[in-house]
């Protein structure tokens, strides 16, 4: 696991992360793998402006914590980031002064 990211391994897990709205920072796909499920995952990644890297099996194997990556892994944000405008709007709606930590 990297400092501010969670590792998601496997086709179904990665696809569901995209569909649930989880912020995915980077997608890693087995080089040369273009079957239907993988194409669907890559399409979702492009819809969400996620960086897609096609990598050799050895790289996925070395990155994998479980050994069950199924040719697909993703790094997801460990927490969701909020836009400053959203924070200011919520504070205004609550009648509270905004508190921002940068």
Specify if 102 maps to a domain: no
- Which parts of the chain sit beneath pLDDT 70? 1-4, 80-81
Specify if 15 maps to a domain: yes
- Residue 48: alpha-carbon gap to chain centroid: 9
Cα four-point dihedral sign 28, 31, 37, 41: positive
Residue 99 CB-density burial (10 A; 0-12 exposed, 13-18 middle, 19+ buried): exposed
**CATH number of the structural domain spanning residue 19:** 3.30.1330.30
Specify if 76 maps to a domain: yes
Per-chain mean pLDDT for the chain: 89
pTM of the model: 0.72
Please give the residue range of the domain that contains residue 61: 5-94
Specify if 22 maps to a domain: yes
Cα four-point dihedral sign 25, 22, 64, 38: negative
Structural domains in the chain (count): 1
Return the percentage of the chain with pLDDT > 90, whole number: 67
Specify if 36 maps to a domain: yes
């Amino acid at each position: 696991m990297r400092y501010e990211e969670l590792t998601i391994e496997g086709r179904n897990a990665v696809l569901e992360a995209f569909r649930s709205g989880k912020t995915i920072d980077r997608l890693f796909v087995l080089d040369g793998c273009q079957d239907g499920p993988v194409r669907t995952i890559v399409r979702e990644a492009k819809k969400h402006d996620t960086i897609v890297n096609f990598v050799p099996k050895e790289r996925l194997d070395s990155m994998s914590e479980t050994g069950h990556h199924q040719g697909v892994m993703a790094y997801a944000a460990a927490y969701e980031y909020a836009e400053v405008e959203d924070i200011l709007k919520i504070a205004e709606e609550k009648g509270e002064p905004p508190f921002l930590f940068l």
